Amino acid sequence: MSGRDSGADGGSDTGTILAAGCVLWRRSAQGGGVEVAVVHRPRYDDWSHPKGKLEHGEDALLGAVREVAEETGMSCAPGAALPTLHYVTKGRPKEVRYWAAEAVGDEPFVPNSEVDRLLWLSPDEARARLTYDHDRILVEALLTALWPS
């Protein structure tokens, strides 16, 4: 839990955009493995993990779970913390905290204004579909969290 204060636009006192999300996963129906959810955001025409800006004063983990629900319509059980990503977007630094999160329940995906498609893919297929290299790193981190060596 972060305890950080964020502004109305997901910004911190330092000007950094604060966001959170989850690498959403489920057990594969084919047995043994997992599938990773990837979402398509028409606004950016990209494939990513469910994530979004934190609301003012919002805890990062609660924000991550909220974003999964808003973007996918699904409930999830958060697990291990995954790497925090830092990058610059539109000239501002951005920090995105991530968690592994298992999808629970069987809510069907309904396209919405933020996400128009959701695919459940094998980890290899997810890495190939994701638009950004930093999102691919999170798939590796998920697998390490689920099956530590």
pLDDT of residue 8: 45
Q: What share of the chain in percent tops pLDDT 90?
A: 83
Which residue in 93, 96, 112, 27 sits closest to 61, CA to CA? 96
Q: For 12-77, give the DSSP string.
A: -TTSPEEEEEEEEEEE-TTSSSEEEEEEEETTTTEEE-SEEEPPTT--HHHHHHHHHHHHH--EEE
Phi–psi pair at 142, nearest 5 degrees: -60, -50
50-66 mean pLDDT: 97
**Could you tell me if 21 and 104 are in contact, meaning their C-beta atoms sit under 8 angstroms apart?**
no
Residues in the chain: 149
Residue 14: predicted pLDDT: 66
Token duo for residue 3: 């305890």
Segment 84-125, tens digit of pLDDT = 999 998 899 999 999 999 999 888 999 999 999 999 999 999
What is the enclosing helix (H) or strand (E) of 141?
A: helix 133-146
Q: Is 136 helix (H, G, I), strand (E, B) or coil?
A: helix
